[in-house]
Amino acid sequence: MTNSCRIITYRGVAIRHFGQVDYEPCLDAMREFTAAREDDTEDEIWIVEHPPVYTLGLAGKREHLLRETTIPVIKTDRGGQITYHGPGQLILYPLVNLRRRKINVRQMVRMIEQSVVHWLASLGVVAYGSSERPGVYVTIADTETKMASLGLKIKNGCSYHGVSVNLTVSLDPFLNINPCGYPGMPMTRLKDLIADDLLPSFDEAGEALAKHLIDLITI
């Protein structure tokens, strides 16, 4: 990616704020970073936001796109089915050497989920992961509602792709899909769960969430 970025380092992990970037150049950059890694390459977490796009995982079925729209659909190499990315959605891409940190894939998924749960708890939102399907959920009016979606790719023991958390993103585009392959899965966003004066900025949210994740992977 050619975008300049703001970088901070926390517990030896670089956190890069890229701002809004197109999906495909970002994917290419993650692949290139992962392919070029050596055993001692430091881990990084990228914080990004994408223009509107639907992404379809490796085993994704296009039938989960319920209707054609002007939003592009991109086949990608993460796990999972179809999801939506757009402005107002916080995306963290953890580029982590799992082999060096002795973390397996299932543990990494749970750590990502727990980082979102811990961060939301700091804002007064009760959320949880699910043993049946990846992601982070909140219960609204007795209905399980999805707040964050997750998909990873592991290559040579290193992760890329990551987690998307709905902050202020429009939820309307989710109505055009079966989110993550689940028909009728309701979606929610942080903006609708807390007071406006408690809502963090995009950069504040990204940095706080990244630090929660780093705390877990560096134990």
State the Cα–Cα distance between residues 123 and 92, nearest whole angstrom.
18
Please report the domains of the chain, with CATH numbers, ordered by start residue.
6-217 (3.30.930.10)
Give the whole-angstrom CA distance, residue 45 versus residue 111.
Answer: 14
pLDDT in the model for residue 219: 80
Pair of tokens at residue 122 = 């700091």
pLDDT at 2: 56
pTM equals 0.96
Instruction: Supply the pLDDT for residue 3.
Output: 60
**pLDDT for the residue numbered 175:** 97
Q: Check residue 185 and give its pLDDT.
A: 93
Reference 135, options 77, 61, 79; nearest CA is 79
In whole angstroms, give the CA distance from residue 194 to residue 186.
18
Splitting the chain (219 residues) into consecutive groups of 10 residues, what average pLDDT does each group show? 82 97 97 96 98 94 95 95 97 98 97 98 97 93 97 97 98 96 95 96 97 96
Asked whether 187 and 166 are in contact (CB, 8 A), the reply is: yes
Q: How many whole angstroms separate alpha carbon 138 and alpha carbon 193?
A: 10
Q: Is 180 a catalytic residue?
A: yes
CB 60 within 8 A of CB 79: no
3-state secondary structure of 126: coil
- Looking at residue 133, its pLDDT comes to 87
> Of the residues 5, 26, 158, 180, which is catalytic?
180
